Amino acid sequence: MKRPNRVWIVRGVIVVLVAVGANAILSTISVEHDAALVALLAAAVLAAGTLALGALDSGVAPSWSVHRGDAAPDRGEDTRTAMYRHVIQVHLTSQDADDAIVWQIADLAAHRVRQLYGVRYQDSPERVIELLGPELAEWVSHDRRHRYLPGVRRRRHSVAQLGEAVRRIEEL
C-alpha cells in the first residue's frame, strides 16, 4: 500500500472509533442523539483538525532564497562577468570620479590578450598597442602599484569611452 492511502485509512479508522465511542457514551448516559449525525460530526472535527495541523506543519523547510522583484534578470552570467557589470554600474552611478572601473577593464584586457595571444605588455608593448589601441594599452601599461597616484585628479570616463574599451576587448 502507498503511504497516502495508509494515512487516509488510519484517519477513517479514527473517525469510526471516535463516532462509535461518542455514540456509546451518549447511549450510556441516556442522551437522545442521532448516530449518523454524531458520525458526521466526528468526521468534520477530524477533517478540521487535519487541516489545522497541516497549516501549522513546521516540518516544511523555509525557503532561504527570495527572488527580488527589482533584481536584474538572470542573464546566465558567471561570477566574474557579474563583478565587472557591478563595477560598471557603480562607476556610472557614483558622484565622484573613480579609476576602479578603468583598472578592472585594464585587468580584463591584459588577461584577454595574454589568454589569446600569449603576450604581456612588458614583453611586447608594440604588439599590445596594436591589439588594444593606444588608450586601452596605456591603461594596461601600469601595474597595480603605480595606478593610484595621490594628488592626481581622476578623469571621469563616459559610457561611450568605457563601451569602446570593452568593445575592443570583445573584438580580440
Share of residues in the chain with pLDDT > 90 (%): 3
Query: What pLDDT does residue 120 have?
Result: 86
Return the half-sphere exposure (C-beta side, CA atoms, 13 A cut-off) of residue 65. Answer: 2
Q: How far apart are CA 141 and CA 138, in angstroms?
A: 5
How confident is the model over 143-148, as a mean pLDDT? 64
Q: Give domain limits for the chain.
A: 3-51, 79-171
pLDDT for res 83: 75
Please tell me whether residue 92 adopts helix, strand or coil conformation: helix
d(CA 136, CA 102): 9
DSSP 140-155: HHS-GGGT--TTPPPP
Provide the 10 A C-beta neighbour count for residue 94.
12
Cα–Cα distance measured from residue 72 to residue 57, given in angstroms and rounded to the nearest whole number? 34
Looking at every residue in the chain, the average pLDDT score rounds to 77
The pTM score is: 0.44
- pLDDT tier at 28, thresholds 50, 70, 90: very high
- Which residues, 6+ apart, have CB-to-CB distance to 171 below 8 Å? none
pLDDT at residue 146 tops 70: no
- Residue whose C-alpha cell reads 572601473 in the numeric block: 101
At residue 72, the pLDDT reads 60
Q: What is the pLDDT of residue 164?
A: 82
**pLDDT score for 14:** 87
Q: What does the pLDDT read at residue 29? A: 92
Angle between helices 35-55 and 3-28 (to 10 degrees): 140
pLDDT at 19 over 70: yes
Cβ-proximal residues to 76 (8 Å cutoff; 6+ apart), any chain: none
Structure-model confidence comparison of residues 153 and 37, the more confident one? 37
- Over residues 82-124, the pLDDT tens digits come to 777 777 777 667 655 566 777 888 888 888 888 888 888 888 8
